[in-house]
Structure 1
Amino acid sequence: MENGRVDPVTLQVISGALHTIAEEMGHVLYRMSFSSIIRESQDIGAGLFDLEFNTLTESEGSPLHIGSIPAYLRGISRCLQGGKWEEGDVVIHNHPYYGSSHSPDLCIVVPVFWRGELVAFAANTAHHVDIGAATPGLIIDIPDVFAEGMLFAGVKLYERGRRNDGLWQFIGYNSRTARQTKDDIDAQIASAQLGARRMQELLEEYGRDTVFGAANQLMDYTETMMRNRIAEIPDGDYYAEGFLDDDGLNRDKPLPIKVCVKVRGDAVEVDLTGSADQVPTGFNVPFEGSTKPACYCAFRALLTDTALMDVKLPPNEGSFRPISVTAPEGSIFNPIFPAAAEARFTQCNRMIDLIIKALSPVLPERVTAGNSATLSFAAYSGIRSSGDYWVFLEVNEGAYGGRPASDGPDSIDNLMANTRNNPIEDLGMHLPMVCDRYELRDDVAPGAGRYRGGIGVVKTQRLLEGGTVTHESERHQDVPWGAFGGHEGQVGKVEIVAPDGSVTPMPAKFSSVALKAGEAMAYYAPCGGGYGDPLERPAPQVLDDVLDDFCTIEHARDAYGVVITSGMTLDLAATEALRAKLRR
C-alpha cells in the first residue's frame, strides 16, 4: 500500500479473490442441498460482509437476495443470543421484523475471526421448502407473522463450535420436510464456513489493512460509477402507478402501487407514498429485507447492465449507497409488526416494473415495455402412505416487454428473479405429479411493437394422488403497458383442470386448495408489452412470428398492417397499402 491506497494490480487481484469466494460459497450451497428450490432453482445468495455490515462481495444468485443480507446482519445485531460473537458460532436468522427478506429465507451467519479478532462475516440465505407454517410450503391467507412458522432471531445454532442439539431437534420436529430442511441448513453452514475460511486465507496472504483497504476502494469505485450513471438522468420527479389484484383474501379490493422516482444530482430516492395500506394477510413486504433490495435491484439493472458497460462493476455495497427508499409505516411496503409478510415477491416485481415505467421518458434506450412483472410461486403438497409429507415449490417463468433494440425474451424469469426451472423429469421421478403441458402460450398474442413483447409460459401440473396447492401470483387485471407506441401485453390466468378437461378459473392467489387425483393446475403467465410502433416492424419478422405460431394471420394484419396469404407468403403490395392507410 502507498499513501493508504492499494496499488491497481493488487486491487484487481483482491477484487477477483473476493468475488471468487462468494461464487464458491454459492456453488457449495446449491451443490450440497437436497430440496429442488435450492438445488435446481438456486434461490440463494451468499457473500462476505464487514463489521459495519457493508457488502464486500456477493454471489450472482437471485437478485432478490442481493443487498438483503446486510439487513439480516443489522437485525441480528439487535437480538444476537448472548449479545456477543464468539469464534465457532453459527447463527440462524429469519425474522421479518429484524431484517429478513421473508421468513422462508433462512440466513446462516459465521463470524470471521483473524488472529483472535472479529473482522468480518460470511453469510448466505436460501429459501426453504417448509418451516412449519400454517399451510405447506407457501402461505398467503394468515393473520400475523406468528403463523409463518419457525421464527429465528439471532439464535446460535452452534455456540463456540458446539451444536445446540435442542434447537436442532426443535427444527426437525417443526417442519413438514424435516430431513430436507436440516440437510439444506447443513449445506448453508458448510457454505458460510468455507467463506470464513477463504477470507482468513486471503487475510493471511495480504494482511488486514490491504484486504479491507482494497474492499473499501472497490466499494467507493462501484459507488462512483453508480452515481455517474444516476447523474446522467435529468433531475426531476418521475411518477408511475399500477395496482395489485387483491390481497389473497378480499377479492374485490385492488391494491394501488404508486412510485415516485426523485432524481437529484447523483442520488435517487424511490418514494412509495400512496401505495396500499398493509393488508390482513401475508401479502405485505418487509421493508429492510425486501422493499429496499428491490429498489437496489431496479437501478442496478437499469444503470449497470453489463451489456451497456465496458467494465463489470464489483458486486458490493457501493451500488446501494446512492439509493434511498421511502415507504410510510403501515403501508404494504413497510408493514407494522405483527403483520404477516411472507408472500411478498410479486409486489416487489410490480414496483420495479413501475420504476422502469416512471423513468422511460428519460431513459428510453435502457427501459423495456411492461413486463409480466410477477411471479408464479406454487406449493404442491400431499401425504404419502407412510404418513410423511411431500412438498414441492415451483417457480414459473414470465416474459419481458419489448426492448429498445430487440423483442422481449419469452418464458423467462424477469426483474427480481433469476431462478432456474425444475426439470420435469426430476419432478416425475421423485413426486406423485406429472407435467401435462409446458410451452409458450398460444391462446393470446404478446404486445405488438417494433419490438414485440415476450410470450409467457403455460404450465400444467397434474397430481397423481390427492393433495393441495397454494399459489401466489399477480397481474390478472393490470395489463403490461406498451412503450413508445407499442401495444399492451396480456394478463395472466390460472385454472384448475379436472380429469375430464373441464376448467375452473382461479384468482391469482389462493391458499390450500384441495386437488383430487387426476386434477391439475394450469398457469398462464402474462405476456410483455410492445416497444415502438408496430407498423415499423419489418414485415418478414411478422411473417416469422406467424410461421412460429406466435401470432395469427389476423393479428398480423390488424396489429402490424402486414398482409399474409393463405399460402403463408407476404403480400408486400397489400402490406404497404394497408400500412399507409393505418398511418393515416
Structure 2
Amino acid sequence: MAKTLMPTDGVSLAAEANRTWDTVEVDPITLRVIGGALNSMAKEMAQVLYRMAYSSLIRESEDLGAGIFDVNGRELCESDSTPMHCGSIPAYIRGVNRRLAGTYKPGDVILHNHPYHGAAHSPDYGVIIPIFWEGEHIGFAGCTGHVSDIGGNFPGLCMDVVDVWAEGKLMDSMKIYDGGVRNDMLIQHILDNVRTPEQNRGDLEALIACSRIGEKRFIELLEKYGLDVVMSAADRWMDYSEEMLRSRIRAIPNGSYEAPIGYLDDDGKNRGVPLKVAVRVQVEDEDVLIDLTGSNDQVPTAFNVPFEGSVLPVAVSAIRTILLDEHLTEEFVPQNDGCFRPVRAYAPEGTIFNPDFPASCFARFSQVNRIFDSINLALAPVLPERAIAGSSAALCAIAYSGLAEDGESYWVYIEINEGSYGARNGKDGMDAVDALMANTRNNPIEELELNHAMRAERYELRDESPAPGQWRGGIGSVRTWYMETDTFLGSEADNRTDPPAGALGGGDGASGSFIRNPGTPDEEVLFSKVTQEVIHAGDRLEIRMPSGGGFGDPFLRDPFAVLSDVWDEYLTAEEARQDYGVVVNTDNWTVDAEATEQLRGSRVAS
C-alpha cells in the first residue's frame, strides 16, 4: 500500500547513517581530491551507459542516472544527467534492501523496476551492484535508464491501462547475477517478454557495465586512501552540501507559500476532465515541506506518480535548483545526500501523487514537472532574483512503433520534444529546451529517418511571439513528421490547457498542441495523451510545445532588445508597440526614442 502519513508529517529521501567505518580528520587537499574523484566516477559511469546503450532514449537523449551510494543508501555522488533518475536511486536501494538485505555477495547484480518499491516508474530499469571491501558490504554502485519497451498492453508508452501489472514486466529485486554467476534463463525470460529484445539486451548490458565501472573506480579509491578516509571525506561533503542548502533556506522568511492551482489536461481516458495540481511550500527555519494536499484523486489510467521514486526526488531537485543555482552560487556544491536532508514532501494517500497499489503509475513526468513549476511559482514573490516564470513543464514523451520487418519484434522509438523555460530576472527564457526535471537531449532527426519510416518536414521554433515581459518567455519547438508507413502513436504529454504563467507582471506563455494533417481538410486536433493512435501512411503529425511565461513589466524591457526581437522576427513592429511600448522604424531598423518615451509615458499617466 502507499505510505500513510499524517498531514503534518513529511517524508525525506535522506538516509540515516549506520556507520561501518571510523570517522577521521581529512586534510583540505585530500578532501578536495576525494570529492573530485567521486564526481568524476559518477560522470564516467554515465558516459559508459550512454555510449554503450542501444536505445536512442538512453544513447542520444541521455535519459539516465548513475552514482555511488553507501551501505545505507546515502548518495555520495551522481552523474550530470536526468535529476529524476539520479534522485530516485536511493529509493531503488531501499526497495531492494527490503528483500535482499543480509544476502548480498560479491559479484551480485540486481535488476529492479517496481514503482511501489522505489522505482521512478517501471520503464526505468535500475541495476544495483553491492560493493565489498575487505569482505564487508560497504556500499552500492547503481544506475537507471529508460528502456524502449517492458511488455504490457502497448508498445513503448501506455496510458489507458487497468493496473500496475498491465504496464509490463515487473522486476522486484531480482538477482540477474548471484555471486558472480549469471542467470541466463532469467535474463532470457525478461527479454522474451518485451517487444524490443535486441535493444533491451543492449541497454541491460550497458546498465551492468555502468554499475561495474562505478564499483571498480570506488574500490580503486578505497585502495588508495582507505575506507575510513574516503567515507569521512564523503561525510564532510554531504554535511557541506546540507549546510549550504540550509543556509539558503534560512534566508527565506518563515511561512506558507502557495502556487496558483494548476490543471493537467486529462488522465488519458476521461476527456475534458482536468486534473488538479495543488502545491504549497512550507518554510520553517532551515527546513522545507512540499505539501501536495488538495491535488487530484488518483485516476484509473497510468497517469499516477510513484510517491517515493518520483515525488520525493522532484521536491529535492526543485529546492536545490532554485536555491543553489550554479549561475548565482560562487561555491561548488556537489549533489549528494546532504541536499535531501532539509527537504520533505507530503501527498495524501489515494491521490495522483501517492496512489494506492495496484494503480498504474507508468506515465508520471508531466505531473512531476508541474510540481517543480508550481514550487518555483510559489516562491517567486519571496525569491524574485532566483525564481523563473512558468515553464513548459510538460515533458512530451511520444512513442512511435510498428511491427519490424522480421515479423517477430517491434521497432519502438521514443522521443522527447522540447518546450521552453520561462524568463527570469535578468534573462530571457531559453528557447526549445527540455525544461525542469528532464534534462534530456533532443534526438537527431537524421538518426530517426535512417532507422524508421518517418521523415521530418519541419523542426524549428514556433511562429507565435514569445510571452512579453521585461525579460521575454522562451519559445517552444514545433515539429512535423510525415509518416511513410502506418505507425502506432502513444503519448503521455500534457499540452497545458492552462498556459505557463507569467511572473511579476510578465505575460503568460502559450499552450501546446498535437495536430494530424494540419492545414488540410482532414485536419484533426489530437489529445495530448493517446493510447496507440494509428497515424496512417501519408499522414502528417504536427507537435507544438508550450512556450514559457514572461518575467516583469514588458514596458521596462530594453528598447534595443525589443528592436532585436523584431529584427529576428520574434515580434512584429505592431507587437513591439502594443506589448512593449517601443516604436520600431523598420525602414532603417532603429528605435524611435522620442515616440517610445511618449508611448510608455502615456501608459503611466493613464
**Who is 2:240 aligned against?**
221
Match of 1:511 in 2: 531
3-state SS in 1 of match to 2:481: strand
| Structure 1 residue 539: Cα displacement | 1.8
> Structure 1 residue 2: deviation in Å?
11
Q: Where do 1:333-352 residues align within 5 Å?
A: 333-352=353-372
Relative distance call for 1:441 and 1:146 in structure 2 (3 A) is same
Q: Deviations over 1:45-95 (max 9, x none)?
A: 000111110001111111112321000000111233x96111111000000
Residue 11 of structure 1 aligns to which amino acid in structure 2? Answer: L
CA distance in 2, matches of 1:282, 1:250: 12
Runs of 4+ in 1 over 6 A off after TM superposition: none
**Most deviating of 327-336 and 562-571:** 562-571
Report what 1:131 is aligned to.
Answer: 150
> Is the aligned partner of 1:536 residue 2:556?
yes
Cα gap change, 1:172 to 1:573, in 2 (>3 Å):
same
Instruction: Give 1:309 deviation, angstroms.
Output: 1.1
Query: In terms of mean alpha carbon deviation, does 458-467 or 567-576 score higher?
Result: 567-576
Identity %: 49
Separation (CA, whole Å) in 2 of partners of 1:308 and 1:168 = 47
Give the Cα–Cα distance (whole angstroms) in 2 for the partners of residues 499 and 407 of structure 1: 31
Match of 1:67, SS? helix
Show the counterpart of 1:420. Answer: 441
- Structure 2 Cα separation of the partners of residues 438 and 213 of structure 1: 50
SS of equivalent to 1:288: helix
Aligned to 2:10: none
Contact 1:499 1:519 in 2 (8 A): no
In the alignment, residue 45 of structure 1 is paired with which amino acid?
G
Count of residue pairs the alignment pairs up: 582
Question: How far apart, in 2, do the equivalents of 1:263 and 1:330 lie?
Answer: 25
**Residue type of the alignment partner of 1:459:** R
Separation in 1 of the partners of 2:197 and 2:86? 27
Q: What are the equivalent positions in structure 2 for 1:106-505 lying under 5 Å apart?
A: 106-240=125-259, 241-387=261-407, 388-442=409-463, 444-497=464-517, 502-505=522-525
Shift of 1:569: 4.3
Asked whether the equivalents of residues 422 and 549 of structure 2 are also in contact (C-alpha less than 8 Å), the reply is: yes
Matching residue's letter, 1:538: D
Aligned counterparts, 1:77-96, within 5 A? 77-80=97-100, 84-96=103-115
Instruction: Compute the displacement of 1:161 (Å).
Output: 0.9
- After superposition, the C-alpha distances for 1:390-431 in whole angstroms (9 at most, x for unaligned) are 110000111111110010010011111111111111111111
Distance in 2, matches of 1:385 and 1:315, equals: 45
- Residues 243 and 256 in structure 1, CA contact (< 8 A), matched pair in contact too: yes
Question: How far does the alpha carbon of each residue in 1:278-299 deviate from its partner, in whole angstroms, 9 at most, with x for none?
Answer: 1111000000000000011101
Q: Cα distance, 1:167 vs. partner?
A: 1.0
Q: CA RMSD in A?
A: 1.6
Residue 279 of structure 2 aligns to a residue whose secondary structure is strand
Name the CA distance, whole Å, in 1 between partners of 2:141 and 2:538. 46
Name the SS of the counterpart of 2:565 in structure 1. helix
Q: Is the 8 A contact 1:445 1:490 kept in 2?
A: no
Is the Cα–Cα contact under 8 Å of residues 584 and 591 in structure 2 kept in the other structure? yes
The farther-off stretch of 549-558 and 44-53 is 549-558
Kept in 1: contact 2:518–2:542 (CA 8 A): no
Letter in 2 for 1:179: E
Q: Which residue of 1 aligns with 2:542?
A: 522
2:48 aligned with 1:37: no
Query: Is the CA contact 1:498–1:519 (under 8 Å) kept in the aligned structure 2?
Result: no
CA positional deviation for 1:433 = 1.0
Distance in 2 (alpha carbons) for counterparts of 1:569 and 1:13: 54
Gaps of 5+ in 1: none
Given that 1:171 and 1:182 are in contact with CA atoms closer than 8 Å, whether structure 2 keeps it comes out as no
TM-score, length-scaled by structure 1: 0.97
2:425 maps to amino acid:
P
- 1:550 and 1:158 map into 2 onto residues whose CA distance is 56
Of residues 143-152 and 564-573 in structure 1, the stretch that sits farther from structure 2 once superposed is 564-573
Task: Decide whether aligned partners of structure 1 residues 83 and 519 sit closer, same or farther in structure 2, where only a CA change above 3 A counts.
Answer: farther
- Residue 511 of structure 1: CA displacement? 1.1
Q: Which amino acid aligns with 1:429?
A: L
SS of alignment partner, residue 549 of structure 1: coil
> 1:519–1:578: structure 2 CA closer, same or farther, 3 Å change rule?
same
Matched letter for residue 226 of structure 2: G
Deviations 1:148-184 (A, max 9, x none): 1010000001111111111111122111110010111
Query: What amino acid maps onto 2:489 in structure 1?
Result: V
Which segment drifts farther, 7-16 or 491-500?
491-500
Secondary structure, counterpart of 1:308 in structure 2: coil
SS at match of 2:215: helix
Looking at structure 2, the residues matched to 303 and 479 of structure 1 have their Cα atoms a distance apart, in angstroms, of 25
After superposition, what is the alpha-carbon deviation per residue over 1:316-375, rounded to whole angstroms, capped at 9, x for unaligned? Answer: 100010001010111111111000001000111111111011111110000111111111
Give the whole-Å Cα distance in 1 for the aligned partners of 2:435 and 2:267. Answer: 22
Give the conservation status (yes or no) of the 8 Å contact 2:23–2:228: no
Residue 576 (structure 1) aligned to one of 597, 600, 603: 597
Q: Is the 8 A contact 1:129 1:393 kept in 2?
A: yes
Please list, as runs of the form range in 1=range in 2, the aligned pairs for 1:12-91 lying within 5 A after superposition: 12-80=32-100, 84-91=103-110
CA distance in 2, matches of 1:121, 1:506: 45
